[in-house]
Chains A and B, each alone.
Chain A
Amino acid sequence: MEITKTLDAKGLACPMPIVRTKKAIEDINSGEVLEVHATDVGAKSDLTAWTKSSGHDLIESKEDNGVYKFYIRKG
């Protein structure tokens, strides 16, 4: 998987991870992948719901030492 852009949203609280993700995805092209790092536990539900509604594809999410990592393919 080729990652086009990585967004560091660690330490940010609601609603910042989603607001930053939205801004970051505007910078990449359709089909490219955005990687998001977040520490907010709510980010998992938030990003899952957001990608679904915004027409993007959450291809993978995992937790790594308290950091949630999301891989979103732009729709």
Chain B
Amino acid sequence: MSEQKKTNIILFSGDYDKAMAAYIIANGAAAYDHKVTIFHTFWGLNVLRKNEKLRPSKTFMEKMFGKMMPKGAENLPLSKMQFAGMGPKMIKNVMRKHNAMPLDDLVTMAKEQEITLLACTMTMDLLGLKQEELLDDIEYGGVAAYIGEGEDGAINLFI
């Protein structure tokens, strides 16, 4: 095979369904032997949050943001049909029936397939998210990290 191709996905959305699409594409691309990177920015950072009670030192505003945003993959809302929390319950039920992998498993599989999960540090600062609140073994970067990978990417997506 020729040089390894690259797939780069910017995950801006913090919606469960959109994040699922991003992670399915990422895992598929990894099966194609692409070097895959998912750049998490803004609401997409919430996919990487640990579902734990952590008390990093924060300003009042950062604490408020932390409380209002979902903690981790399985707590994200849907982009459509949220129905005050009923939507995600229903869709997860249907997913189980069809053997579709839940988002947290897709994240685990992404790590197993050596997909690079990268958190945008600028938006982490805006939303008051600290490194200890995000999953271990992820990378941190900014726009240059994306362009560096993206400029010779076979597939570049913004979700």
Chain A residues packing against B (C-beta within 8 Å): 11-16, 18-19, 21-22, 50, 53-55
Distance, CA A11 to CA B25, complexed state (A): 19
B101 within 8 A of A: yes
Chain A residue at minimal CB-CB distance from B31: A22
Contact, CB under 8 Å: A54 / B32: yes
Contact B31 A19 (CB under 8 A): yes
Query: Can you spell out 12 A-B residue pairs with CB atoms less than 8 angstroms apart?
Result: A12-B99, A13-B98, A13-B101, A16-B99, A19-B27, A19-B28, A19-B30, A19-B109, A19-B113, A22-B33, A50-B31, A53-B32
Distance (Å) between the CB of A66 and the closest chain B CB?
15
Q: How far is the CB of A72 from chain B (nearest CB, A)?
A: 13
When distances are taken between beta carbons in the complex, the residues of chain A under 8 Å from B1 are: 54-55
A15 and B103 CA atoms in complex are apart in Å by 12
**Which B residues are closer than 8 A to A by beta carbons?**
1, 24-25, 27-28, 30-33, 98-101, 109, 113
Give the chain A neighbours of B30 by CB distance below 8 A: 19, 22
Partner of A11, one of B28, B99, B113: B99
Instruction: Find out whether the CB atom of B31 lies under 8 angstroms from the CB atom of A14.
Output: no
Among A11, A16, A21, A22, chain B packs the most CB atoms within 10 A around the CB of A16
A50 partner residues in chain B, CB cutoff 8 A: 31-32
Known: A15-B28, A19-B109. 14 other contacts (CB 8 A): A11-B99, A12-B99, A13-B99, A14-B28, A14-B100, A15-B25, A19-B30, A19-B31, A22-B31, A22-B32, A50-B31, A50-B32, A54-B1, A54-B33
Most buried by B among A12, A18, A19: A19
Q: Is the CB of A15 within 8 A of B32?
A: no
Contact A15-B27, Cβ < 8 Å, known A50-B32, A54-B33, A55-B1 = yes
Contacts of B33 in A (CB 8 A): 22, 54
